[in-house]
Amino acid sequence: MPLTNQQMGQIEQIYLERRNRAQDEAAARRRRIEAAVPEFSRLEREQAELRGQLIEARRAGSVRRAAELDKQIKATALMKETLLEEAGYSVKDLEPQWTCKVCRDSGYAGGEKCSCFRPTLVNVLYHDSALWERVKEESFETFDITRFGTRPDIAALSGNSPREVMTRNLRTAKNFVKNFGTKMQNMLLFGPTGTGKTFLCNCIAGALMKEGYAIVYMTAVEYFRMMADMAFGKSEQTIEELMDSTDLLIIDDLGTEIETTANVSLMEETIDRRFRRKQSTIISTNLTPEDLRRRYIERIASRLLCYQTLPFGGDDLRLASRSRITNL
Ligand SMILES: [Zn+2]
């Protein structure tokens, strides 16, 4: 399927950001090392000086001098390595940690598209740039647990406080990311609006997109509209392509889509296909388990309730932050 210039531009932008991030992080690690191990910088300068002398010696044809310098350079490198290890670092810390080692985040290897190109393409095909902005703002790094209340929530969280529950959910989400790619993992996030479900989905999506996985992340309304377009041949992509190429599918706000038999069967198809292919899925919903059973056929509901379930509760954070702003 031919890509538009805009899509190609977006893909190039993603690779550029990956390269920049890897290089910036390596530079930052180097600065930390230089500050923490002053002797390291001295050895670096010494090594550079010796390299200069080696070039001179080779140019002058003095073989013995060159061999001597070569030995000194190797000895300095070894000293640097030992020094770093003693300080708790390694030589690898100085190198950029590429998302894809094969193509060093260029997207191409040996004149061909690298295997990391496909997931990157999927992330571009099925989303606009809004998702990229969102996962930058709402990530594990920006997650603020103190936003969640400490008052027990009897009704939704069986007497636990939102903060306690969120601490557990956060740990589960981090494990999900850590174990991703080793096994199929499915999660059902349920609870009222504004209690952090979407935020946690953004954290997971962003972390996995950074690792180069193909994520399709949509609200239930968007998802079922797209599935219907695909089913009726109104889209360039097919349901097979979508399912096959998606490492993780996240459907946000299940239950907000129109209640039709077509949507129920598209949901059934989604769940079955992903289950058969051992592909991970995350679904968030405002519906309670009882609502799920009422709204979807038993087969769907019981499959969903087999997912690892994460409860959410407490006050609506969106309202809370809005009232904080008006209080200012
Ligand atoms: Zn690659």
Annotate 211-254 with DSSP letters as a single string.
TT--EEEEEHHHHHHHHHHHHTT-SSS-HHHHHHT-SEEEEEEE
Domain match, 302 and 188 both: yes
- Residue 193 CA to ligand 1 center (angstroms) comes to 39
Classify residue 102: in a domain, yes or no: no
Instruction: Work out the end-to-end distance of the chain between its first and last CA atoms, rounded to an integer number of angstroms.
Output: 52
Q: Domain containing 88: what range?
A: 5-94
CA distance 328 to 322: 10
Domain match, 203 and 64 both: no
- Residue 113 CA to ligand 1 center (angstroms) comes to 8
Per-residue pLDDT in tens (0 to 9) along the chain, 328 residues: 567 788 888 889 889 999 999 999 999 999 999 999 999 999 999 999 999 999 999 999 999 999 999 999 999 999 999 999 999 999 899 999 999 999 999 999 988 999 898 888 888 877 766 787 888 889 999 999 998 989 888 777 888 999 999 999 999 999 999 999 999 999 999 999 889 999 999 999 999 988 889 899 999 999 999 888 888 888 878 888 888 788 999 999 999 998 899 999 999 999 999 999 999 999 999 998 889 888 888 888 888 888 999 999 887 776 666 554 444 3
Classify residue 110: in a domain, yes or no: no
- Residue 116 CA to ligand 1 center (angstroms) comes to 4
Report the domain count for the chain.
Answer: 2
Classify residue 256: in a domain, yes or no: yes
Q: Which helix (H) or strand (E) holds 189?
A: strand 186-190
Classify residue 112: in a domain, yes or no: no
Domain match, 57 and 179 both: no
- Residue 186 CA to ligand 1 center (angstroms) comes to 27
- Residue 203 CA to ligand 1 center (angstroms) comes to 23
Residue (of 268, 255, 259) closest to 303 by Cα position:
268
Domain match, 47 and 165 both: no
Domain match, 90 and 137 both: no
Domain match, 156 and 271 both: yes
State the CATH number of the domain containing residue 260: 3.40.50.300
Tell me the whole-structure pTM to 2 decimals.
0.76
Classify residue 51: in a domain, yes or no: yes
Classify residue 118: in a domain, yes or no: no
Q: Domain ends where: 52, 73, 94?
A: 94
Domain match, 170 and 282 both: yes
Domain match, 216 and 72 both: no
Domain match, 85 and 182 both: no
